[in-house]
Amino acid sequence: MTPSDLQPVRDHLARRVIGQRSFIDSMLICLLSGGHLLVEGMPGLAKTTAVKALAEAIECDFHRIQFTPDLLPSDLIGTDIYRHDKGEFEFRPGPLFHNILLADEVNRAPAKVQSALLEAMAEHQITVGQKTYPLPRLFMVLATQNPIEQEGTYHLPEAQLDRFLMQAIVSYPSRDEELKILELDSEQQKQTPQAPARPLSQAELFAMRRAVAEVYLDPRLNGYIVDLVQATRNPRLYDRDLGRWCRFGASPRASIALARCARARAWLDGETYVAPHHIQSAAPEILRHRILLTFEAEAEGVNADEVIRRLLGLVAVP
């Protein structure tokens, strides 16, 4: 499989979503890497539309669930239903048993719901009572959260944040892009958008994942990845300000995620090997939700992206 085999998916996304190229690339990289994506952005920036368009372009089961404070774990994982005709309980699966799950406003659900989602994301299974049920081989969570509304929201646990392969930040469109959005909306009022003639099959997707895994990653670049992640844990060795700003660094999952996503980025670029710039381009979305900053950093208006930018400038490239 080659990147050209993924072009119909790209074309469909481009027809449904104007701009947001970085966000679309993040979705494709997560899809090729077998990971989950956390999406943060203001309302109305086509986050939900983009996820739906991705599901339309792939041969899969899609489900959207709106996370609310009164949501229960059983609303996600399913529950045992008593069947009078059989005289026994029967498990009725919930939304987590779909291939692609859109968890809309994921930070509005309480801790019990987050823990149910955590098991599914981390272990590819769910547990009901004393029984464990495996999830589909293709299972991807795309979770959205609103960065401005804090009332009625819950902080996502660090353990759950670590299970997201990447965190994408969706920004406002440019003036030209917004003009194209108006044109697209006018066209969609006249006719319903068409799904791709032939969605990408799951067999093709898994073949693409195998091709991504075969992209060559030099051992010296493995060392570079580890050095970057280690630098988030020992930032004082590189810069005094970084030492004041970083409270906790990224886990070894970040190293694994960087290697996977760098391979996927290189494959999408048509390369057979990973170069340093593939690692550097993936680093912000891999690390920004895994670095915990100090109160001092927040008071100075420093965010995780600024920390990552400095580290990329300080850690030596082999």
Q: Residue 278 and residue 263: Cα distance in Å, rounded?
A: 8
Integer CA distances (angstroms), 187 to 90, 167, 225, 276, in order: 47, 32, 46, 42
pLDDT level of residue 151 (50, 70, 90 thresholds): low
61 and 104 inside one domain: yes
Domain count within the chain? 2
237 and 176 inside one domain: no
pLDDT level of residue 193 (50, 70, 90 thresholds): low
Mean pLDDT estimate for the chain:
90
84/269: higher pLDDT: 269
Residue 203 lies in a domain: no
Considering 157, 190, 223, which residue would you say is the last residue of a domain?
Answer: 190
CB–CB of 258/274 below 8 Å?
Answer: no
Reduced to 3 states (helix: H, G, I; strand: E, B; else coil), residue 62 is strand
92 and 133 inside one domain: yes
pLDDT of residue 281 exceeding 70: yes
Residue 148 confidence (pLDDT): 66
166 and 235 inside one domain: no
pLDDT of residue 286 exceeding 90: yes
Residue 276 lies in a domain: yes
101 and 151 inside one domain: yes
Q: Please tell me which of 193-207, 257-271, 293-307 the model is most confident about, judged by mean pLDDT.
A: 257-271
- 252 Cβ partners below 8 Å, 6+ apart? 229
Q: Residue 117 and residue 67: Cα distance in Å, rounded?
A: 11
pLDDT level of residue 149 (50, 70, 90 thresholds): low
pLDDT level of residue 152 (50, 70, 90 thresholds): low
Q: pLDDT over 70 for what percent of the chain?
A: 97
What are the residue ranges of helices labelled H in the chain?
Answer: 7-16, 21-33, 47-56, 74-77, 111-123, 158-163, 175-190, 202-213, 219-233, 240-245, 252-268, 276-287, 295-299, 304-314
Considering 190, 223, 249, which residue would you say is the last residue of a domain?
Answer: 190
Q: Residue 240 and residue 141: Cα distance in Å, rounded?
A: 37
- Distance in Å from the first CA to the final CA of the chain: 30
186 and 227 inside one domain: no
24 φ/ψ angles, rounded to the nearest 5 degrees = -65, -40
Neighbouring-strand partners of residue 132: 127
Residue 292 lies in a domain: yes
pLDDT level of residue 55 (50, 70, 90 thresholds): very high
Residue 200 lies in a domain: no
Reduced to 3 states (helix: H, G, I; strand: E, B; else coil), residue 152 is coil
Residue 290 lies in a domain: yes
89 and 224 inside one domain: no
pLDDT level of residue 60 (50, 70, 90 thresholds): very high
Q: What is the radius of gyration, based on Cα positions, of the chain? A: 21
pLDDT level of residue 156 (50, 70, 90 thresholds): confident
What is the per-residue pLDDT across 8-46, written as a single tens digit (0 to 9) for each? 999 899 888 888 889 999 999 999 999 999 999 888 888
Residue 208 lies in a domain: no
Residue 181 lies in a domain: yes
What is the per-residue pLDDT across 210-228, written as a single tens digit (0 to 9) for each? 999 999 999 999 999 999 9
Residue 198 confidence (pLDDT): 85
123 and 258 inside one domain: no
146 and 100 inside one domain: yes
Residue 43 confidence (pLDDT): 83
Q: pLDDT over 90 for what percent of the chain?
A: 60
Residue 204 lies in a domain: no
What is the per-residue pLDDT across 67-100, written as a single tens digit (0 to 9) for each? 988 898 889 998 888 888 877 888 889 899 999 9
CATH number for 38 = 3.40.50.300
Q: Which residue range forms the structural domain that includes residue 8?
A: 3-190
